[in-house]
Copies of this chain bind each other. A is one copy, B any other.
């Protein structure tokens, strides 16, 4: 009865960047109108109801024109997604400044994330669906997501750096990626969580944050360095790709 997700004949091969940059002021206004309409409709109606036709209509342009500025509906969604990332940072940073313990700093960041993202839970599933496709620009491991991903990892570097207490150097280097992975795992759980107020995810977040903090303490113990070295080796191997780094494989 309802609608599904992407359809039509779609190109798997993704060319290069976003699209021809608007040359004139009017063109820029058109692009903005489309993006704004898309974001509004996504917020108001969710992914499936926000059809390309509806977006184009609200923006006062033709469907074809929307595709002139954005290569796909997914790209539109990505812009929307990037905006929530900015929101997250805005909430997380001040909160982070008040905490010095690792566990509390993890909670500061992650709770900001959960709060920011809560309004979109109803259609988070569809978003995740797109995000899981390795070919999708929304994929957290994709080249197109690199900027957002690197920023997020850098953010976790700050989380670690600002925390009191020291870390073994080898582990310290991999901590940001490790924490980013943790954060992705929590988000994966969140997507599937339909408990009221996402209570279960909040619990998971708290417990795992504590677990991580405890594990870090343990990791400093003298007998732990072989295990730690193994862990560090795995993380490094996961990321390095023929010289340059990346998330996921390849």
Contact = CB atoms under 8 A, between A and B. Distances in A.
Interface of A: 1-13, 48, 125-126, 128-136, 139, 141, 189-195, 200-201, 203-204, 207-208, 210-211, 214-215, 218, 221, 223-224, 226-227, 230-231, 233-234, 237-238, 241, 248-250
A191 B227 contact: no
Contact of A249 (B131, B132, B193, B215): B193
Contacts of A223: 218, 221
A208 B141 CA distance: 20
A133 B141 contact: no
A135 B130 contact: no
Given A128-B132, A132-B128, A224-B218, A4 B2 contact: no
A190 B8 CA distance: 28
A200 B249 contact: yes
B133 A125 contact: yes
A207 B193 CA distance: 31
Contacts of A8: 4, 7
Contacts of A214: 226-227, 230
A237 B133 contact: no
A231 B211 contact: yes
A248 B204 contact: no
Nearest to A240: B200
